[in-house]
């Protein structure tokens, strides 16, 4: 029986069974293409059976005040902490350090300045408790990623922060450690990417069409450790449109780099461009045109033999090349409508690879493309006209859109009531909800403005929180944080889901918490693991044991912390388990 036949049969089965559970199912085969005969989702979404629902999601106000507006957002592993920070330029925020503490901040053209308001906080994403953290060097429009130990390594920023590397460990009372003068070039609006061996590179930034490796803690880069990058020189428009390039590690160890409307594969060992992909037409996608992008889940089979594992990139929204000219440089400002399409490309096809153009239900810039625990994508936050920049966008797009990777369909979910414009962020939580924070389109903390500085934090519960799907929600039986060794088999025990877990409805996905800012979620990566078998636990009748294989190597899953989600029939488990992937 072919895969397609099996999938169809399963769907037919589901179409009979699921309505009995009062769940509405979209009864179409999964290989249905979006009106384009060439659309065939190979390798990425094969064999996934999930009960679709008409549940449109739910918003909740999680915190009335995060203190600091979350221009940058990341989860720290193993704790329940989300880290939010913006910039020292505002001098203020909505959270004061407890008396008599203040922080010394290095300012442009001057020595230090005392700021008694915090610019960074840890927010417990379960209790909403907030803790202010101090730093000295400006983090404005910086980059970051988790290292193999689960510490945040933050790079760049503005002014004297631009060549700074900072480290925040994941313990509850850890403080920022700052290393100014570490980078060879200033990195303002740059992108940090993790390689298969766990090292970081930073790409671009204002005025620097270059890249460099991030030196290990305590070391510094000299100017000659900076590598000139013609591609970033070439993709710069008069108003840039190539900052915060979208950079993803391909499964073969090369880096996929997208800037403005062009993309290449770069070999980080030889510094050679291995391939250039076709141009993605219809405007610019990178800052300040600020579309959003993600790599789709990488699907593995047990004992993988394929020489290159397929990897697909989605790039959505953006703006016309001259949008920033019209909004930021023009008086009066003009706010042109933004881009409504997405480009999807399988980068493993190399010479044959080309963009498939998909239409979103609405145009979007300044949004986030978050990979959900199910492997589908949530497009959320942002606006429908203008560009990135202070007061440069209008028409908030408050409707989150679910992109189904198997069917190529987009679906609008329930809208929020809070505009999330420039400098807004999102994060996928271990319970499958999405943390939504930030939005500050003002040069300061403004209470009264067209779009006031936002410090309210919301949680969005996507479609799979449909109460009717509750019977499919499994519970991972925790062990102490698990270590996965490349290529090695391991087991996960789960309770619930069904009496007998059907392998065809089962996915086990690991997800690297990304560093999100300005519509880019750096190092966001989901790997759908190869499953050997599912067995009943002999002793407990509602417990199943899933046998899996850890990813084969670091190019598929760079070493470090991931959330492991068991997804059954399209419904994520109650809470992900942290795993550490390594040699
Ligand atoms: C995180 O939150 C969960 C759910 O409330 C709780 O069970 C767990 O103990 C918390 N973990 C830590 C490290 O605080
Ligand atoms: C790509 O962007 C450049 C500007 O950087 C523009 O001149 C060119 O026309 C664009 N190409 C397409 C196909 O849209």
Nearest-ligand number for the alpha carbon of 339: 2
Contact 547, 491 (CB under 8 A): yes
Helix, strand, or coil (residue 125): coil
If you measure from the C-alpha of residue 363 to the centroid of ligand 2, how many angstroms do you get, rounded to a whole number?
Answer: 20
**How many CB atoms are located within 10 Å of the residue 96 CB?**
15
Two structure tokens written together for 82: 């989300």
Q: What is the CATH number of domain 58-298+310-464?
A: 2.130.10.80
If you measure from the C-alpha of residue 321 to the centroid of ligand 2, how many angstroms do you get, rounded to a whole number?
Answer: 8
Largest CA distance in the chain: 73
| pLDDT attached to residue 173 | 83
pTM of the predicted protein model: 0.92
pLDDT tens-place string over residues 170-194? 887 899 999 999 999 999 999 999 9
How does 241-272 read in b/e, with b if 16+ C-beta sit within 10 Å?
A: bbbbbbbbbbbbbbbbbbbbbbbbbbebeeee
| pLDDT attached to residue 478 | 78
If you measure from the C-alpha of residue 389 to the centroid of ligand 2, how many angstroms do you get, rounded to a whole number?
Answer: 22
Two structure tokens written together for 24: 């509405």
How does 113-140 read in b/e, with b if 16+ C-beta sit within 10 Å?
A: eebbbbbbbbbebeeeebebbbbbbbbb
Two structure tokens written together for 260: 């403005």
Q: Among 572, 246, 247, which residue's Cα sits nearest to residue 428?
A: 572
Q: How far apart are CA 556 and CA 250, in angstroms?
A: 7
Residue 356 has φ and ψ, to the nearest 5°, of -100, 135
Q: Does residue 409's CB lie within 6 angstroms of at least one atom of ligand 1?
A: no
Q: Among 137, 138, 256, which residue's Cα sits nearest to residue 191?
A: 256
Q: Among 237, 439, 213, which residue's Cα sits nearest to residue 320?
A: 237
Q: How confident is the model at residue 540 (pLDDT cuts 50, 70, 90)?
A: confident
**Confidence check: pLDDT of 257 > 80:** yes
Helix, strand, or coil (residue 410): strand
Mutate to test the pocket of ligand 2, among 234, 261, 263 (most ligand atoms within 8 A of CB): 261
Non-local (6+) Cβ contacts of 411 within 8 A are: 361, 401, 402, 404, 463
If you measure from the C-alpha of residue 135 to the centroid of ligand 1, how many angstroms do you get, rounded to a whole number?
Answer: 27
Mutate to test the pocket of ligand 2, among 236, 243, 278, 321 (most ligand atoms within 8 A of CB): 321
Q: Does residue 80's CB lie within 6 angstroms of at least one atom of ligand 1?
A: yes
Rounded to 5°, angle at Cα 237 from 214 and 153: 20
pLDDT tens-place string over residues 356-410? 999 999 999 999 999 999 999 999 999 999 999 999 999 999 999 999 999 999 9
pLDDT tens-place string over residues 486-536? 999 999 999 998 778 899 999 999 999 999 999 999 999 999 999 999 999
Number of C-alpha atoms within 13 angstroms, CB side, residue 243?
A: 24
The residue whose CA is least distant from atom 12 of ligand 2 is: 281
If you measure from the C-alpha of residue 78 to the centroid of ligand 1, how many angstroms do you get, rounded to a whole number?
Answer: 9
Domain ranges, ordered by start, for the chain: 58-298+310-464
Q: How far apart are CA 436 and CA 281, in angstroms?
A: 30
303 alpha carbon, distance to own chain's centre: 28
Q: How far apart are CA 86 and CA 142, in angstroms?
A: 9
* Ligand 2 atom showing the smallest separation from residue 234 Cα: 5
| pLDDT attached to residue 36 | 37
Contact 373, 576 (CB under 8 A): yes
Contact 235, 242 (CB under 8 A): yes
**Confidence check: pLDDT of 325 > 70:** yes
pLDDT tens-place string over residues 31-89? 333 333 334 444 444 567 788 899 999 999 999 999 999 999 999 999 999 999 999 99
Quick one: CA dihedral 563, 564, 570, 573, positive or negative?
Answer: negative
Q: Does residue 126's CB lie within 6 angstroms of at least one atom of ligand 1?
A: yes
β-strand partners of 294? 314
If you measure from the C-alpha of residue 80 to the centroid of ligand 1, how many angstroms do you get, rounded to a whole number?
Answer: 6
The residue whose CA is least distant from atom 4 of ligand 2 is: 237
Two structure tokens written together for 543: 């417990």
Nearest-ligand number for the alpha carbon of 172: 1
User: Strand 482-485 relative to strand 489-495: parallel, antiparallel, unpaired?
Assistant: unpaired
| pLDDT attached to residue 101 | 95
Q: Does residue 582's CB lie within 6 angstroms of at least one atom of ligand 1?
A: no
| pLDDT attached to residue 50 | 83
Contact 128, 457 (CB under 8 A): yes
**Confidence check: pLDDT of 116 > 60:** yes
Give the residues surrounding ligand 2 with Cβ less than 6 Å away.
237, 260-261, 279, 281, 321
Nearest-ligand number for the alpha carbon of 575: 1
Nearest-ligand number for the alpha carbon of 127: 1
* Ligand 1 atom showing the smallest separation from residue 127 Cα: 5
How does 333-344 read in b/e, with b if 16+ C-beta sit within 10 Å?
A: bebeebbbbbbb
Mutate to test the pocket of ligand 1, among 80, 172, 573, 574 (most ligand atoms within 8 A of CB): 80
* Ligand 2 atom showing the smallest separation from residue 261 Cα: 1
The residue whose CA is least distant from atom 4 of ligand 1 is: 126
The residue whose CA is least distant from atom 2 of ligand 2 is: 261
If you measure from the C-alpha of residue 168 to the centroid of ligand 2, how many angstroms do you get, rounded to a whole number?
Answer: 40
If you measure from the C-alpha of residue 319 to the centroid of ligand 2, how many angstroms do you get, rounded to a whole number?
Answer: 12
Q: How confident is the model at residue 6 (pLDDT cuts 50, 70, 90)?
A: very low
Rounded to 5°, angle at Cα 306 from 300 and 310: 60
If you measure from the C-alpha of residue 435 to the centroid of ligand 1, how many angstroms do you get, rounded to a whole number?
Answer: 16
Q: How confident is the model at residue 344 (pLDDT cuts 50, 70, 90)?
A: very high
What's the chain's average pLDDT? 92
Number of C-alpha atoms within 13 angstroms, CB side, residue 513?
A: 37
Q: Does residue 282's CB lie within 6 angstroms of at least one atom of ligand 1?
A: no
Q: What is the CA radius of gyration of the chain?
A: 23
| Percent of the chain's residues with pLDDT above 90 | 86
């Amino acid at each position: 029986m072919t895969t397609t036949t099996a999938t169809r049969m399963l769907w037919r089965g589901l179409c009979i069974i699921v309505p009995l559970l009062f769940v509405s199912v979209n009864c179409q085969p999964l290989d249905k293409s979006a009106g384009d005969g060439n659309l065939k989702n190979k390798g990425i979404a094969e064999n996934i059976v999930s009960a679709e629902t008409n549940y449109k999601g739910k918003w909740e106000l999680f915190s009335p005040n995060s203190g600091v507006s979350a221009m940058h957002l990341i989860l720290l592993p193993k704790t329940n902490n989300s880290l939010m920070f913006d910039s020292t330029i505002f001098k203020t925020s909505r959270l004061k350090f407890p008396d008599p503490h203040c922080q010394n901040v290095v300012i442009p053209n001057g020595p230090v300045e005392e700021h008694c308001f915090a610019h960074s906080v840890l927010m417990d994403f379960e209790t909403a408790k907030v803790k202010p953290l101090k730093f000295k060097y400006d983090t404005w429009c910086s980059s970051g990623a988790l290292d193999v130990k689960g510490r945040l390594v933050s790079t760049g920023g503005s002014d004297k922060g631009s060549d700074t590397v900072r480290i925040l460990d994941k313990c509850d009372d850890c403080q920022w450690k700052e290393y100014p003068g570490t980078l060879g070039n200033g990195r303002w609006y740059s992108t940090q990417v993790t390689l298969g061996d766990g090292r970081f590179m930073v790409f671009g930034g204002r005025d620097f069409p270059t890249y460099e490796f991030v030196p290990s803690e305590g070391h510094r880069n000299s100017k000659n450790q900076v590598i000139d990058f013609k591609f970033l020189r070439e993709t710069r428009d008069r108003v840039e449109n190539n900052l915060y390039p979208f950079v993803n590690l391909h499964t073969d160890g090369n880096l996929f780099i997208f800037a403005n409307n062009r993309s290449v594969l770069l070999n980080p060992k030889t510094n050679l461009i291995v391939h250039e992909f076709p141009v993605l037409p219809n405007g610019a996608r990178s800052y300040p045109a600020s579309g959003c992008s993600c790599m789709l889940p990488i699907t593995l089979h047990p004992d993988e033999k394929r020489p290159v594992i397929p990897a697909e990139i989605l790039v959505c929204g953006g703006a016309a090349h001259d949008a920033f000219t019209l909004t930021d440089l023009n008086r009066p400002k003009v706010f042109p409508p933004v881009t409504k399409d997405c480009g999807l490309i399988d980068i493993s096809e190399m010479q044959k690879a080309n963009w498939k153009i998909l239409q979103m239900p609405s145009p979007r810039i300044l949004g986030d493309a978050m990979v959900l625990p199910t492997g589908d994508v949530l497009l959320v936050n942002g606006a429908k006209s203008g560009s990135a920049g202070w007061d440069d966008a209008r028409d908030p797009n408050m409707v989150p859109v679910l992109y189904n990777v198997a069917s190529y369909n987009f679906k609008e979910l329930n809208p929020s009531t809070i505009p999330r414009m420039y400098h807004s962020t999102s994060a996928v939580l271990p319970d499958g909800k999405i943390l939504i924070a930030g939005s500050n389109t003002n040069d300061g903390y403004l209470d009264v403005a067209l779009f006031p500085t936002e410090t309210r934090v919301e949680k969005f519960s996507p479609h799979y929180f449909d109460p009717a799907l509750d019977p499919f929600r499994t519970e991972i039986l925790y062990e102490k944080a698990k270590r996965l060794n490349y290529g090695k088999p391991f087991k996960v025990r789960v309770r619930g889901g069904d009496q007998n877990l059907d392998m065809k409805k089962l996915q086990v996905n690991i997800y690297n918490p990304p560093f999100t800012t300005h519509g880019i979620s750096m190092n966001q990566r989901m790997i759908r693991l190869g499953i050997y078998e599912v067995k009943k636990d002999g002793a407990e009748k509602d417990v199943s044991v899933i046998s899996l294989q850890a990813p084969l190597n670091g190019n598929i899953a760079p070493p470090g912390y991931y959330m492991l989600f068991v997804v059954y029939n399209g419904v994520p488990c109650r809470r992900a388990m942290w795993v550490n992937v390594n040699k």
